[in-house]
Structure 1
Amino acid sequence: MQKIFITGASSGIGQALAYKYAKRNQHTGCIIGLAARRSEHLQELADNLQSQYNTTCRIYPLDVRDSLACQLAAQDFIQQYGAPNIVIANAGVSRGTLTELREDIPAFQAVMDINVMGMVHTFQPFIKAMINAAKLNSANSSETAQLVGIASVAGIRGLPGAGAYSASKAAAISYLESLRIEMAAQNIAVTTIAPGYIRTAMTDVNQYKMPFLMDADIAATKFVNAIAAKRRFVVIPWQMGFVARLMRFIPPFLWVWAMKKAPHKPRLDWDWL
């Protein structure tokens, strides 16, 4: 029986992933740990998954910036169900930021703490148990444990007005690459997913055209397929992957020229600050 732990599960991509895994495993059953800050949304999601797909769910209302809360959640999940097969560090936030504005410093800190350290806090307490489980299942490659981090195409090159977000996702990409090397000898796969524009509450506020915008449920299907294939690094959708490859090779002076008049992410207040 597949066991999955997902952060940022109360809405958007995280919620769509939970539904996708529950539906795919409705005949064999699965266990999903659902973590996010909004307990009422988590409970509603858990109730829906249990009633529609007979999925075993356990909710963990927490903020991924709180390492102790993540530690306790992991301990509880492992105690109840054993080591998960897949841990998905999906929790993330996006907000326009400008370095020139002192009032944006807390937003910079929050974005980096959630998008980068939140990923570390999510993975760390599971790894020892996953290593032990991977050793026991070494004869069955299909049971390979897997850590999945949700990064972003915004981490490929710096975007104007999104210094905190681009920096956090660039850091996430590099962190996951390091982790992949570290975990290779432990028979634990590490997958980096770098989405383009996905239709969620975070993108609904954007006032500019978003190329290749994809609905969250469609994106979740592609995410789950990439995870099942144990892809090391994947950009979704594929069209944005082509753009991302081009972005890597644009000279810095040309990137500045092209981006200096690009639209900025709105500097909205969020309740996570």
Structure 2
Amino acid sequence: MTSPLPVPVGKQNAPRQSPPGLPRRVFITGASSGLGQAFARHYAAAGWQLGLAARRADRLDELARELGGALAATYPLDVTDSAALASAAADFCARFGAPHVVIANAGISVGTLTEESEDLVAFRRVLEVNVFGMAATFAPFLPAMKALRDGLPRRVVGIASVAGIRGLPGAEAYCASKAAAIAYLESLRLELAPSGIRAVTICPGYVDTPMTAVNPYPMPFLLPAAEAARRMARAIDAGTGYTVVPWQMGVVAKLLRLLPNAVYDRLFGRAKRKPRGLPL
């Protein structure tokens, strides 16, 4: 599925002189709200040059204005549109240089039931955004990142989820997409290792964002988006191959993975479900 949005041309807020030393650069998808917005604020505060991509141009412009002193370019696009991402990558690299970090954060979630034929549209959309969109985000940047010779660490970061570790009822599409993302990122980690670029898999637990605001069930260890971004940025900087944030959800996920199917089914078979509908 391609986006109805036009291939973007980056828009820059008032340019400021880069700070002394080698500027670091990050490109973030899903930057207009939630965790992506929190990442943008975190890296802007550290003086990084930013590429901010999302579907909502007005939100991106508002964020760029808020960041003020940061050097930022905004790209209104849909991550399922690989041509738009290629255009954004070319513009960003021409303007600032290849990014040191690319964060494929864009993702959508909605309840789906396989028995409901109308949910197949939502199922396809979730998989396209959460899996294909991640690969489409990395692809146009990798050649330029491989050519970087400034000695600074290089990372490609995929935001997966603990929902990819075990399936949940009524979340077939979302769980499948995040399980696929985890496997894809593991393959990418091995593929990129000889180049020195580290692929980082981050599996958030519950983060307080618009995506989780509709969840009709308790969310243990819920983190504010700013705190989640801070912890994740620390893992990104360290080049950690795989991490769960917060760590408590990692313990829970490992325990759930060890449960026999009969026990797991009994515990979660009647769990409350995310509302169905078309994903935003």
User: 2:119, 2:277 within 8 Å by CA — same for their partners in 1?
Assistant: no
Query: How far is the alpha carbon of 1:104 from its aligned partner?
Result: 0.2
- Number of the residue aligned with 1:184: 193
User: 2:161, 2:205 within 8 Å by CA — same for their partners in 1?
Assistant: yes
- Number of the residue aligned with 1:96: 111
Query: How far is the alpha carbon of 1:247 from its aligned partner?
Result: 1.6
Query: How far is the alpha carbon of 1:110 from its aligned partner?
Result: 0.3
Query: How far is the alpha carbon of 1:259 from its aligned partner?
Result: 1.3
Opposite residue 255 of structure 1, the aligned amino acid is Y
Query: Aligned equivalents of 1:199 and 1:268: distance in 2?
Result: 21
* Identity fraction in percent: 53
- Number of the residue aligned with 1:57: 72
Helix, strand or coil for the counterpart of 1:96? coil
Q: 1:1-273 counterparts in 2 under 5 A?
A: 1-25=23-47, 30-50=48-68, 54-133=69-148, 136-137=149-150, 140=151, 143-271=152-280
Query: Aligned equivalents of 1:191 and 1:4: distance in 2?
Result: 14
- 1:145-168, Cα deviation, whole Å (9 max, x unpaired): 110000000000111100000000
Query: How far is the alpha carbon of 1:248 from its aligned partner?
Result: 1.6
Query: How far is the alpha carbon of 1:228 from its aligned partner?
Result: 1.0
Helix, strand or coil for the counterpart of 1:125? coil
Helix, strand or coil for the counterpart of 1:268? coil
What's the TM-score, normalizing by structure 2? 0.90
Query: How far is the alpha carbon of 1:79 from its aligned partner?
Result: 1.1
Query: How far is the alpha carbon of 1:70 from its aligned partner?
Result: 0.6
Helix, strand or coil for the counterpart of 1:120? helix
Opposite residue 18 of structure 1, the aligned amino acid is A
User: 2:29, 2:106 within 8 Å by CA — same for their partners in 1?
Assistant: yes
User: 2:109, 2:279 within 8 Å by CA — same for their partners in 1?
Assistant: no
Opposite residue 166 of structure 1, the aligned amino acid is C
Opposite residue 119 of structure 2, the aligned amino acid is D
Opposite residue 102 of structure 1, the aligned amino acid is S
What's the TM-score, normalizing by structure 1? 0.93
Structure 1 runs (4+) deviating above 4 angstroms are: none
The range that moved more, 97-106 or 209-218, is 209-218
Query: How far is the alpha carbon of 1:226 from its aligned partner?
Result: 0.9
Number of residues paired by the alignment? 258
Query: Aligned equivalents of 1:13 and 1:19: distance in 2?
Result: 10
User: 2:126, 2:279 within 8 Å by CA — same for their partners in 1?
Assistant: no
Helix, strand or coil for the counterpart of 1:102? coil
Opposite residue 221 of structure 1, the aligned amino acid is R
Query: Aligned equivalents of 2:153 and 2:26: distance in 1?
Result: 13
- 1:254-273, Cα deviation, whole Å (9 max, x unpaired): 222221111111113344xx
Query: How far is the alpha carbon of 1:144 from its aligned partner?
Result: 2.1
Query: Aligned equivalents of 1:167 and 1:270: distance in 2?
Result: 15
Query: How far is the alpha carbon of 1:170 from its aligned partner?
Result: 0.2
Query: Aligned equivalents of 2:34 and 2:52: distance in 1?
Result: 13
Query: How far is the alpha carbon of 1:24 from its aligned partner?
Result: 2.3
- 1:61-111, Cα deviation, whole Å (9 max, x unpaired): 000010100111011111111110000000000000000000100000000
Query: Aligned equivalents of 1:171 and 1:268: distance in 2?
Result: 22
Query: Aligned equivalents of 1:97 and 1:268: distance in 2?
Result: 8
Query: Aligned equivalents of 2:278 and 2:240: distance in 1?
Result: 35
